[in-house]
Amino acid sequence: MMDRAALQVILLGMFLMSATSDPVKKKKNVDIYSFYINSTVTSRYATTVITSRVANTLNESQEIQFEVKIPKNAFISKFRMTIEGKTYDGVVKEKEAAQQQYNQAVSRGQSAGLVKSVGRTLEDFKTSVTVSAFSKVTFELTYEELLKRRLGKYELLINAQPMQPVADFKIDVHIQEKPGISFLEVKGDLSTGDLANAIKTTRADKDFQVWVTFYPTQDQQTKCKSCGENGLNGDLLITYDVERQNPKGEIMVSKGYFVHYFAPSDVPRISKNVVFIIDRSGSMSGRKIKQTRLALLKILSDLDEDDHFGLITFDSEVSLWKRELLRATEANLENAKSFVKEIRDRGATDINAAVLAGVDMINRHPREGTASILILLTDGDPTTGETNIEKIMSNVKKAIGNKFPLYCLGFGYDVNFDFLTKMSLENSGVARRIYEDSDADLQLQGFYEEVAVPLLTDIQLKYPGGTNLTKTSFSLYFNGSEIVVSGQITDNSVESFTTEVIAVSKGSNVTYQDTIMTKDPSDVPPENENFMQRLWAYLTVKQLLDRQVLLKGQEKEDEKKEALKLSLKYQFVTTLTSMVVTKPQEGEVEVANKPKEGKGGDGYTADVDSDDDDSVINHHPAQRAFLLHSVPMDYPAAMDYSDAMDYSDAMDYSVMIHHPLPTYGSPTIHTTTPPAVQVHSNRFLLPVVGQSKPLCFDVPLPHKLRLLQDSASEFSMNGESLSENHGFHQIAIHYKTNHHLIISTKSISYHNGQDKVEILWGQELTQHNTDGVSLVVLENEMNVTMGNIGVVIISHKKDGVKFLWPAIWEHPKDVNLTGVLGKSDISYVKTEGSQTPTLKMKDKEVKTYLETVSDYRFHSTPVQECWLVPFQAVMEAEISDFTVTQL
């Protein structure tokens, strides 16, 4: 395996920004001698520049890599590399033109990069360049974003992990807010211990400006709680809000553009009518339904007594807790909580009937001076009743009639998020993805908190003398949020500019009117004087792209052309444009694309051109084409709409690049290859309680494995894998002496000693219940419960080949499970100070590497990082101890 020194500097983002790199072994032949993150926030518009200066200390050329992750809501607007005094700038082009240039580079055998990413809030930019012996390279990337106010504050999260202590390390944040900054707090891992002394906060101009600086010494960079020889590893969290003394809002005018921030807080809250529509279909089984119950119990406790609420659960049938909306009295809430505790998963998914029932419940109980809200939570497509998506959207839109918003929460990656997005946007709401993770209940609660306190309804904003306005009509304004409108002023010679806001507060019309003098001295520093024009362009492009899912025909084409025109003018990398980077190596080309949100994507890797037979790690940089993917982080998703698409099949290449397998006992070398070449092993994930990264281990192919066994209940599950194929082609489950279930990639056979049932994959929902055995077969998933043990078998198709993968979402209590999937008590501690990553497991030190694994427990096969360890280290036995002779 070729040992290539590679630099990775990664910028992470949660709502705002962050910079980091994947934890890898420190590169001794690469010196990051300067690392700056500079963020300037002017009236909520953040421009962030990360600059990394790197020296190649080898006496020969080597590839230096630069990798940046940015917030989903941000647009990259500039990238450049400077090598030996010559600068190479990225140029934003229309996506088709950039793709053609990319394809031409690939056809010539040159290096070409295509950036793609998905995740909660992150997107990824990555490039590399070959640097001569003892030479230096400077990378500089700029991105822009309008910060959003949520729950009464803006947040800046800056995460730093540059892989080595840096002699000149600086983070500078400069916040300028015209009305003044009401509060600002700095916390996080990097604000503790000795590092707290490296943070300095300076206020000036009556709190109109704040500087936050973080200048740790090299010695300090190794001594924080999560730091080590690889330097900083942690975050700074900066939260702030602005003074809001003027209920009419904050208006700024500059060079023919204006922005209006409207966030009144001196109005009484409006009592609400909220109906929760909860999917309880079979696919919600296990952790999903449990987390949904937990979130609902907390949300019910947070309802105000003058609120009215309803609960609807649905599968193939729709169940109403009560036929009418009830006031949130203590007695009603206790009864509702009892109902929630009994919600169980079952059946198919009739979204159409459920949402219409919720609309009907609100329509039948109108209350003057209140705000009505529908919240739908589902994890799948409509599978029964009305299943035509266009018809469902038409039915819902007609029933709601623009009277109240519908918020759609999509649980996991199997949900049709594009459908939920369209349906919510058509009804004045938004769609939010709830990620399948340990904090899913907190994500649900967090969304509800954002819409829990409505203050105004039917908000209309008017700007006489304004043109090219961003969105000016809003159905609801919630406490802690903010409405932002920007536009151009038609006559720059006017001396004043007037704004008018008309809204409804508790059933009564209210008006906010304000006038400002346009000739007043600007509060914007000269270096930021163009920010308002760029803010307008950013917000306009965002909203034009959001509306694309709702428009059709010529209107859609016209708005798409306008969004493209502005993206090119302001050099924004959007879903319509790409950034082309021409590199010094014989004109090599890389193309950075703004990705669309996909169905999955936990991992991030370089994919090789499938025509090559060699592993990507054996290619010379100037002889490969690669696709880059992203890593989603565990941060709450933004409220805004994100474009949705099926994630590229290239995600499946994520297990191709590996280090040598760490040794434990006899040394073993693990190799993996592009899809065109053989698959050598199955990689299993093993979550570890209390650790953010799971363990993973490989089992060579082919094999017949004892996957799960409980001798006390006479339960066993075995699986058989074939050479060169992923997963399992057949899984057998046995229970007691007479229950036998054989699952293959084509069909399912169940025999209970008397009757035999044959089921084909892809049929309509099939259920079978008898004698402590429950079988539920969905299109590509089978839920099996035998006794008190439940497993899920997922059917996948990859590279044209079908395979199966088992998942256990909950280990039953007081059951001693054995087998490859039976391990539940594993733990580890990462050992600090070692040059090679080492984990302490069962009082033994095990060498490891940070790797990626496709998580086949999910249909979307998200890719995530894991610590790769030998099978023997986890199981404390040999693979032969888990093999069976027959299924």
| Statement: residue 29 has pLDDT above 70 | yes
pLDDT in tens, 722-754: 877 789 999 999 988 888 999 998 889 988 878
**How many Å from the N-terminal Cα to the C-terminal Cα in the chain?**
37
Instruction: Specify the pLDDT at position 560.
Output: 93
Give residue 633's pLDDT band: very low, low, confident or very high (50, 70, 90): very low
CB of 116 within 8 A of CB of 590? no
DSSP code of residue 858: S
Strand ranges for 342-453 from DSSP E: 371-378, 406-411, 431-434
Amino acid residing at 325: L
| Statement: residue 525 has pLDDT above 60 | no
Whole-number Å distance between alpha carbons of 509 and 513: 13
Helices 287-302 and 330-341 meet at what angle, rounded to 10? 180
Helices 531-547 and 553-569 meet at what angle, rounded to 10? 150
Q: For 856, left (φ over 0), alpha (ψ -120 to 50), or beta?
A: alpha
Closest CA to 138 of 25, 75, 17, 49: 49
Give residue 641's pLDDT band: very low, low, confident or very high (50, 70, 90): very low
| Statement: residue 64 has pLDDT above 90 | no
Whole-number Å distance between alpha carbons of 251 and 240: 19
Q: Find which of 468-472, 554-558, 777-781 is predicted with most confidence, using mean pLDDT.
A: 468-472
Where is pLDDT greater, at 619 or 764?
A: 764
Closest CA to 781 of 280, 283, 279, 285: 283
Closest CA to 864 of 727, 728, 694, 656: 694
Instruction: Specify the pLDDT at position 703.
Output: 85
pLDDT in tens, 327-382: 999 999 999 999 999 898 888 889 999 999 999 999 988 888 899 999 999 987 88
Average pLDDT estimate for 651-675: 29
Instruction: Specify the pLDDT at position 589.
Output: 62
Give residue 12's pLDDT band: very low, low, confident or very high (50, 70, 90): very low
Give the count of beta carbons closer than 10 Å to the beta carbon of residue 448: 21
Output the CATH code of domain 272-452: 3.40.50.410
Average pLDDT estimate for 852-878: 85
Q: What's phi and psi for 634, nearest 5 deg?
A: -85, 65
Instruction: Specify the pLDDT at position 44.
Output: 94
Output the CATH code of domain 30-244+578-582+589-593: 2.60.40
Amino acid residing at 695: L
Average pLDDT, the chain: 79
CB of 887 within 8 A of CB of 804? no
| Statement: residue 854 has pLDDT above 90 | no
Average pLDDT estimate for 863-873: 88
Give residue 201's pLDDT band: very low, low, confident or very high (50, 70, 90): very high
How much is the pTM? 0.65
pLDDT in tens, 285-311: 888 888 888 889 999 998 999 999 999
Where is pLDDT greater, at 570 or 849?
A: 570
| Statement: residue 524 has pLDDT above 70 | no
Burial class, 431, CB count within 10 angstroms (exposed 0-12 / middle 13-18 / buried 19+): buried
CA 615, 616, 621, 624 dihedral sign is: positive
| Statement: residue 235 has pLDDT above 80 | no
Instruction: Specify the pLDDT at position 592.
Output: 65
**Tokens for 657?**
């690049």
Give residue 268's pLDDT band: very low, low, confident or very high (50, 70, 90): very high
Instruction: Specify the pLDDT at position 626.
Output: 28
| Statement: residue 647 has pLDDT above 60 | no
Strand ranges for 678-834 from DSSP E: 681-686, 695-700, 703-710, 715-721, 730-735, 739-744, 747-751, 756-760, 766-770, 773-777, 781-786, 789-798, 801-807, 829-831
Average pLDDT estimate for 704-723: 88
Burial class, 611, CB count within 10 angstroms (exposed 0-12 / middle 13-18 / buried 19+): exposed
| Statement: residue 696 has pLDDT above 70 | yes
Closest CA to 157 of 35, 271, 240: 240
| Statement: residue 551 has pLDDT above 60 | yes
Closest CA to 218 of 198, 188, 196, 238: 198
Whole-number Å distance between alpha carbons of 155 and 149: 8
Instruction: Specify the pLDDT at position 195.
Output: 87
Where is pLDDT greater, at 282 or 628?
A: 282
**Tokens for 61?**
């050329």
Instruction: Specify the pLDDT at position 672.
Output: 33
Q: Where are the domains of the chain?
A: 30-244+578-582+589-593, 272-452, 681-882
Give residue 717's pLDDT band: very low, low, confident or very high (50, 70, 90): very high
Bridge-partner residues for 56, per DSSP?
30
pLDDT in tens, 246-258: 889 999 988 889 9
pLDDT in tens, 431-448: 888 887 778 788 888 888
- Listed range (131-145, 292-306, 337-351, 676-690) with the worst mean pLDDT: 676-690
Long-range contacts of 364-369 (CB under 8 A, 24+ apart): 364/324, 365/273, 365/308, 365/324, 365/325, 367/271, 367/273, 367/308, 368/507, 369/270, 369/271, 369/506, 369/507, 369/508
Instruction: Specify the pLDDT at position 528.
Output: 61
Where is pLDDT greater, at 312 or 445?
A: 312
Instruction: Specify the pLDDT at position 390.
Output: 92
Burial class, 379, CB count within 10 angstroms (exposed 0-12 / middle 13-18 / buried 19+): buried
Average pLDDT estimate for 128-153: 91
Q: Find which of 446-455, 490-499, 588-597, 819-828 is predicted with most confidence, using mean pLDDT.
A: 446-455
**Tokens for 835?**
């040059």
- Listed range (33-47, 368-382, 574-588) with the worst mean pLDDT: 574-588
DSSP code of residue 36: E
Give residue 105's pLDDT band: very low, low, confident or very high (50, 70, 90): low
CB of 303 within 8 A of CB of 434? no
Instruction: Specify the pLDDT at position 466.
Output: 92
Q: How many residues does the chain have?
A: 887
Give residue 568's pLDDT band: very low, low, confident or very high (50, 70, 90): very high
pLDDT in tens, 389-442: 999 999 999 999 989 999 999 888 778 888 999 999 999 998 888 887 778 788
| Statement: residue 756 has pLDDT above 90 | no
Distances (CA, A) of 281 to 416, 469, 782, 783, 872: 15, 43, 13, 12, 39
Q: Is the peptide bond before 268 cis (omega within 30 degrees of 0)?
A: no
